[in-house]
Amino acid sequence: MPTVELADGPTLRYREWGRPDGAVLLMLHGTTSDSTTWSNVAPGLGEHFRVIALDLRGRADSEWPDVYSLPLMADDVVKFMDALGILGAVVVGHSSGAVVAFLVASGHPERLRMLVLEELPPPDAAKPQLELPLGPDPAGRYDWKAVIAIRRWLNAAHPDWWDLANRLNVPTLVVGATRGPFDQGRVRDLANAMPDARYVGLELGHTPHTERPSAFLQVVLPFLAPLAK
Q: What kind and span of H or E run contains 26?
A: strand 24-28
Which residues have C-beta within 8 Å of that of residue 41, sequence separation ≥ 6?
209, 213, 216, 217, 220
Domain count, the chain: 1
Residue type present at position 55: D
DSSP 153-194: HHTS--THHHHHHHT--S-EEEEEETTSSS-HHHHHHHHHHS
Q: Is the pTM above the cut of 0.75?
A: yes
pLDDT tens digits for range 101-126: 999 999 999 999 999 999 999 999 99
| Residue 76 CB neighbours (<10 A) | 22
Distance CA 219, CA 100 (A): 21
Give the distance, in angstroms, between the CA of residue 60 and the centroid of all CA atoms in the same chain.
16
According to DSSP, residue 9 is labeled S
pLDDT tens digits for range 131-187: 999 999 999 999 999 999 999 999 999 999 999 999 999 999 999 999 999 999 999
Query: Residue 38: pLDDT band by 50, 70, 90 thresholds?
Result: very high
**Could you tell me the strand order of the sheet in which 11-18 lies?**
3-5, 11-18, 50-54, 24-28, 89-94, 112-118, 172-177, 197-202
Residue with the bigger pLDDT between 219 and 66: it is 219
Give the structural domain span for 161. 3-227
Distance CA 172, CA 117 (A): 7
Here the CATH number for the domain that contains residue 12 is 3.40.50.1820
Q: What is the pLDDT of residue 149?
A: 97
Distance CA 184, CA 174 (A): 11
For 93-102, what is the mean pLDDT? 98
For 18-32, what is the mean pLDDT? 97
Q: What is the pLDDT of residue 173?
A: 98
Q: What is the pLDDT of residue 153?
A: 96
